Amino acid sequence: MTSEYMRRALELAASVLGSTSPNPSVGCVLVREGRVVGEGATQPPGQAHAEVVALRAAGDAARGAVAYVTLEPHAHTGRTPPCTDALIAAGVRAVHAATLDPNPLVAGRGVDALRAAGIEVTVGDGEAESRRLLEGYVKYCATGLPFVVAKFAATLDGKIAASSGDSRWVAGEAARAWAHEFRTRVDAILCGVNNVLLDDPRLTARPGGVAAARQPLRVVADSRGRTPLDAKVLSPGGATLIATTGASPPDWRAAVERAGAEALVLPPDARGRVDLAALLRALGERGVLTLLVEGGGVLHASLFAAGLADKVHAIIAPKIVGGMRYPAVAGTGVARMADAIALHDVEVQRLGDDVAIVGYVAARGDA
């Protein structure tokens, strides 16, 4: 059972998801004599970590306090000095860490440093919740690749657009608000070029209709350079990367760069399209911990076929459009139901008249 103070630390960690990458989002609560004397969450890269924010808030009251931290404090000097040193110097009596840091530079060394200084340390209070919250960071530490969430809004018959390509709107207001809120928690959003041509999305995070202060990197998979230079995805409001191949015209790539975006030439896959595995590697190198793939169906088909999706956010709207065009996941599909991609740890949420289904894709070989 997760303790009350660790639950609060997890809430603090969740509140900064998406603003700390490539650092993990961490929360810290300092408790002395049954009273919270300081709390904090990780600040943007280069600024204070959760422990330091909480220690500053507590001041002298940190002496003899117990720290509840959602991740093992780091003992190495990165962009900021070690948090273990700050906890030791402040005279904290005990540290409860939800989980060890999967970063090989930390991995147990933070705990060792605290114990060596005579601080009592436990690990495991709120571990499952913390690792879920940090799923992007955990995968990134293990692989150098972003955690990939495939998202679509589909009708009851699995269509993401009507037969003309019109998709405004598949889902209702509550589901769209939920999706915008989620965009604030990711580092990058990817879509296929057909989506740009048919829908011209801005791909920005606008929770409550207002542009978020920090915007995810906007990424378009566009093998041949079909993104129009006046596309909204190239407009101000966020950084943009167009992932392309050598098949796109060099003039177009230069124009994309003049528009302030990056035109990244990647190797083609077997069908001449942007190699998505190479794109994930490139995004990992840019510190992207979490990538939201917003379709359309042709892009999702490649993503699932290559086994690159970790999680699915499906919004299902109680509507039927019929026809054969614009399935949520295109391609040839599997021949047998037993080969369907099944999700696990599924959560279902009602959003107005729509339903959000969230679940994890089993890693290949898990079945």
Q: Which of 150, 193, 308, 309 binds ligand NAP (CB under 6 A)?
A: 193
Q: Is position 153 an interface residue for ligand NAP (rule: CB under 6 A)?
A: yes
Smallest gap, in angstroms, from Cβ of residue 274 to ligand NAP? 4
Give the interface size with ligand NAP as a residue count (CB under 6 A): 32
Q: Which of 152, 178, 182, 360 binds ligand NAP (CB under 6 A)?
A: 152
Active site residue 51: yes
User: Residue 20 corresponds to which tokens in the numbers above?
Assistant: 């700390």
Q: Is position 319 an interface residue for ligand NAP (rule: CB under 6 A)?
A: no
As a whole number of Å, the CA-based R_g of the chain is 22
Q: What is the dihedral of CA 12, 186, 215, 9, to 10 degrees?
A: 0
The Cα–Cα gap between 135 and 71 comes to 12
Q: Is position 98 an interface residue for ligand NAP (rule: CB under 6 A)?
A: no
Sheet holding 120-123, edge to edge: 35-41, 27-32, 66-69, 94-97, 120-123
Q: Is position 329 an interface residue for ligand NAP (rule: CB under 6 A)?
A: no
Q: Is position 269 an interface residue for ligand NAP (rule: CB under 6 A)?
A: yes
Q: Is position 147 an interface residue for ligand NAP (rule: CB under 6 A)?
A: no
Q: Which of 139, 273, 311, 313 binds ligand NAP (CB under 6 A)?
A: 273
Peptide bond into 318 cis (omega under 30): no
The Cα–Cα gap between 6 and 121 comes to 14
136 vs 296, beta carbon nearer ligand NAP = 296
86 vs 203, beta carbon nearer ligand NAP = 203
Q: Is position 308 an interface residue for ligand NAP (rule: CB under 6 A)?
A: no
Draw the binding track, 12-51, toward ligand NAP (x: CB under 6 A; -: no contact).
----------------------------------------
Smallest gap, in angstroms, from Cβ of residue 166 to ligand NAP? 7
Considering only the stretches 14-22, 97-105, 133-141, 223-231, report the one whose residues sit in contact with ligand NAP under the rule CB under 6 A. 223-231
Q: Which of 198, 277, 278, 341 binds ligand NAP (CB under 6 A)?
A: 198
At 350 the three-state DSSP class reads strand
74 vs 311, beta carbon nearer ligand NAP = 311
Smallest gap, in angstroms, from Cβ of residue 165 to ligand NAP? 4
Q: Are 167 and 294 in contact (CB under 8 A)?
A: no
The Cα–Cα gap between 152 and 294 comes to 6
The Cα–Cα gap between 129 and 141 comes to 18
Q: Is position 175 an interface residue for ligand NAP (rule: CB under 6 A)?
A: no
Q: Which residues contact 333 (CB under 8 A, 6 or more apart)?
A: none
Smallest gap, in angstroms, from Cβ of residue 218 to ligand NAP? 13
Catalytic residue from among 4, 11, 39, 51: 51
The Cα–Cα gap between 300 and 309 comes to 9
Q: Are 149 and 186 in contact (CB under 8 A)?
A: yes
Contacts 24+ apart (CB under 8 A), 124-127: 124/98, 124/99, 125/2, 125/3, 125/6, 125/68, 125/96, 125/97, 125/98, 126/2, 126/3, 126/6, 126/7, 126/9, 126/10, 126/70, 126/98, 126/99, 127/98, 127/99
| DSSP structure class, residue 327 | B
Draw the binding track, 226-265, toward ligand NAP (x: CB under 6 A; -: no contact).
x---------------------------------------
Q: Which of 109, 241, 297, 321 binds ligand NAP (CB under 6 A)?
A: 297
Q: Within a 13 Å sphere around the CA of 154, how many CA atoms are in the beta-carbon half? A: 23
The Cα–Cα gap between 282 and 280 comes to 5
Q: Is position 223 an interface residue for ligand NAP (rule: CB under 6 A)?
A: yes
Binding site for ligand NAP (CB under 6 A): 152-153, 160-161, 165, 167, 170, 191-195, 198-199, 221-224, 226, 269, 273-274, 276, 294-299, 302, 326, 330
Catalytic amino acids? 51
